[in-house]
A and B are shown apart, each in its own frame.
Chain A
């Protein structure tokens, strides 16, 4: 188990690095997909099979396809190195450094989180996830679904062709 964990982690970290460093955007997308599949593997190690498969379906199967769509249609496959101005680059380095510092500081002092439920073999199965979502967290669940619907309607509104209505002021 530990071996699998380290192997998946190594795959994830290496592919994540390649996402950043590869110059071709399509390559980056492929490495991100590999990273996501590794993450699904981690979920399976935690016995959360449902989460793992949903992760693969949603992130790998839908969202990354849309990424690839955009890259293909915009023809971003040329290996462009974008030259930014000096100010942008320096400020980017400073911001990144500060963010890194915050992350390190946050993980240095580990606080043990007491989960609401003790970990057991059935914690990630569909029935358990469903019961928890629809009993205890029903309200947040429904509110987030409303949020999703409004986001979808918003996307449709943006995508609609402009029926020009000139409001004469």
Chain B
């Protein structure tokens, strides 16, 4: 083949651009997890009924945020529906990047758990509909606590939790007392650490949005965290987040694990018991609140079709469709979004963690309080938080690994956070 021919062939192939989205097709950006994967199968019925073709773009959480943020901020219109979390929804709603959501009476918006509705709204307007939600709780091995003669109660004290971890800790036999997040990231170690700090009475920022990492509460909380995980955690905890700990837990290597309530549906170890998150005197903020929700980018040409799909995918009927689906069943229904889900007898029978999850979500308090001026439990719903959280996360991982003292790590974290907030104009 001559070069001329080769160039012609290459150009022809290059011009084979795909067809663009039509009114009868929706492009949906989703985070890759079990519930979302199931939705792709369940939604075949939606396509059959309405004729709307669904193009799924499944992405890893970090890449999803990056793509959706750049697309939404530039009004790119690559997606008709986007998966966003609680950190983004109120900010993007206020910025006008996503459309307000209004559904029919049958949708029963009041059935959405109040904490979820509040966290996904701005000025009382819902901007994203929760597909599933989660809080955090203690998941512990009852057989090990019984054998060690210790107990873990709902809203227990951190001291008692540390004592229980110490009693179960048996590294010679491959059992570690406490498995907790240590991998740096604002959504990784900082999600858990923030709940610990909250429970010690600390907060990310004061009323003037000055970072509070140099406070006595942060100091006490991080010293406690490093001691608990450093003494009774698995080696290399600074590299562990949700998936790594899930693998350890299912191998029977963890005495207790405090993490997202959704973890309970993945646990395959016998004798798991649940308890509400511990605290050190301040129960507000001891358990986090998160939702993966669906929103419509502003200016989407298919906004009406997108709204119809979101209404279906976050409805009571969708929960029934998953529960009755031959491939899934009641143990696979998305939870944490609607009160009515927890009243379904088949779901209660299939999910031993249902009551504990519901209680955790109901007691989560994302709103601003006297202690903190911002919305959010394990994060602050301000645009600068991912940058601040990521910088602090690195310092906390350094403290956990022993590369820095807690005091040095907090001082460095405070300096980094102050620099970011100052530059942002606070």
Q: Is the A/B pair a real complex?
A: no
